[in-house]
Amino acid sequence: MTRNPALSLIGWITCCLIAGPAIADNEATASTQSNPTRPSPTRPNIVWIIPDDMSANFSCYGETAIETPNVDALAAGGVQFNRAFVTAPVCSTCRSAFITGMYQTSIGAHHHRSGRGERKIELPASIQLVPKMFQDAGYYTTISGWPNRGKRLGKTDYNFQWDASVYDGTDWSERKPGQPFFAQIQTKGGKMRGKDASGWSRIHEQAEKTLGSRTSEDVVQLPPYYPQHPDLVTDWAAYLDSVRMTDHMVGEVLQRLEDEGIRENTLVLFMTDHGISHARGKQFLYDEGIHVPLVISGPGIQPGTVRNDVVEHIDIAALSLGAAGIEVPTWMQAQDILADDYQPRDAVFAARDRCDETVDHIRSVRTADFKYIRNFLPQRPHLQPCAYKDAKAILIALRQWHDAGKLDAIQELIFRPTRPAEELYDLAADPYEINNLADVPGYQDKLAEMRSRLDRWMEDTGDQGRQMESAAMYDSDMEEYLRKFRKPDGDKAHMRVIESNIALMKKWAAEGK
């Protein structure tokens, strides 16, 4: 794809530019087309800031309970994508996708924390990791947490075999003079709030110390599918403080770039790896799980741009390569959404498969106005047993109020013993995805259209999830999952829950559920 190079604002060398206009609303921006084999101090640095477990609860996205001045400023100085979605609503599958620019379902990386045991997952020979492509183009590549604490690499969590040498280090200060850099900064995001009261207190204390205040529970507004249980309200307030702390970290990164005099020549990208970890969020294909913030600022991007077309999180691979003048490989499924000749998508796709010990198989297609979800295992409950999520105080609270009959009809939906095979939501009329229209007569044409879109995508992209994970691979990964709990200091009670869930998964599979 060609890229609109409106980069003269930072004095780029004339021979590296192709004349063109700056971006406008719902159009794409551009960057240089420099030789990818020769490092040049004029090529932009690329910085990815990617927190865990966080939805688009930032002021620029309409959040009113808190203020997020740094992400807001980043958006005001660049482009804000209002409809950005992950293709996988859990860490490892999402990260396996964006680091290759490929759907996790196409490369066999669709099961969460897979290929970790004796049986490994190998990428197709043609697929390269994004940092390797930057390395080959002369960039210095890093991955770290924030703040950077030594030589330990930041979170990767890839589901396949890979070579750590694709990262040159953990800090761009170690690069050669004039060498451009590609830096991934991974932060804890929503995980900062922990899973129970001790974690909630900890993040509140951090917010008070760093920001001078904590988020009050009085400002919390839960989605209608969650009850006003005190633990859910307190947890959400703690989550909002994790958003505020994440915003503060963004400000620190931007300030460092300013202090080093390289901010103007650095493309800064802010995105989360999936939505909030909650009952209908992380691991599921409702918007709470797959809608993420995506804000990009840097050379050639017109400040104050807002995009409302649907984009996928894997696109950060292609747009980053394009910004550096590196040719986007033909095998890559990601698209350079900042390219001058980019043709906006009319739909995005997502997939959920096994998460830890819990087996599932869900696919979705989303347009600007409609969402279609297919549950391939409809005889299983939405809230299948999952040791990781069930240990969270918010899930314990939900189950308690369900057992006590304290949930209303909307809040009870996630406790149904089975699921509809198909779900269809009119997002304009029903943004919380509560009213399933799949059986409503007036929506049968739309249902058929969305069903067909998903079928074509699964076929065209070679969705490997159409075949169930082999028993040998499942057992291999479960052995690795349980290994740390079997150590003398391991949590034996948690281990027994996992073992019980594994047995249940196998029982249901044998019964055809």
On the question of pLDDT at 40 being above 70, the answer is no
The rounded distance, in Å, linking the Cα atoms of 396 and 394 is 5
Instruction: Give the burial class of 449: count Cβ atoms within 10 A of its Cβ; 0-12 exposed, 13-18 middle, 19 or more buried.
Output: middle
- Residue 386: the pLDDT is 98
Across 450-474, b (16+ Cβ under 10 Å) vs e yields: bbebbeebbeeeebbbeeebeeebb
What pLDDT is recorded for position 151? 86
Report whether 319 contacts 132 (CB < 8 A).
no
For residues 185 and 52, what is the distance between their CA atoms, to the nearest angstrom? 11
Strands across the sheet containing 305-312: 140-144, 181-187, 45-51, 266-271, 291-297, 79-85, 305-312
Do 401 and 229 form a contact (C-beta atoms < 8 A)? yes
Q: Is residue 42 classed as helix, strand or coil in its secondary structure?
A: coil
Pairwise CA distance, residues 94 & 312, whole Å: 11
Q: Residue 32's pLDDT band (boundaries 50, 70, 90)?
A: very low
The DSSP H or E segment spanning 334 is none
- Give me the pLDDT at residue 507, please: 98
Q: What is the pTM of this model?
A: 0.91
Length of the chain: 513
Q: Are 380 and 360 in contact (CB under 8 A)?
A: yes
Residues 476, 119 contacting (CB under 8 angstroms): yes
What digits encode the pLDDT tens for the residues 321-347?
999 999 999 999 999 999 999 999 999
pLDDT at residue 13 greater than cutoff 90:
no
Q: How confident is the model at residue 150 (pLDDT cuts 50, 70, 90)?
A: confident
What per-residue confidence (pLDDT) applies to 42?
73
> Which amino acid is located at 88 in the chain?
A
- Write down the pLDDT at residue 18: 28
Helix (H) or strand (E) holding 81, with range, is strand 79-85
pLDDT score at 23: 28
Using alpha carbons only, give the angle 88, 90, 93 rounded to the nearest 5 degrees: 60
Q: Which residues pair with 134 in a beta bridge?
A: none
Q: 77 is written with which tokens?
A: 């100085």
Q: Are strands 79-85 and 266-271 parallel, antiparallel or unpaired?
A: unpaired
Could you report the per-residue pLDDT of 110-136, keeping only the tens digit for each? Answer: 999 999 999 999 999 999 999 999 999
Residue 71 contacts residue 293 (beta carbons within 8 Å): yes
Average pLDDT over every residue of 294-315: 97
Distance of alpha carbon 29 from the chain centroid: 23
Structure tokens at 496: 């027994």
d(CA 318, CA 310): 16
The confidence score (pLDDT) of residue 483 equals: 96
pLDDT at 148: 87
**pLDDT value at position 31?**
33
Phi and psi (nearest 5°) for 300? Answer: 85, -5
> Is residue 3 predicted with pLDDT exceeding 80?
no
Is the pLDDT confidence value at 464 over 90?
yes
What's the pLDDT at 217?
98
pLDDT average, residue stretch 305-314: 98
Predicted local distance difference test score (pLDDT) of residue 29: 33
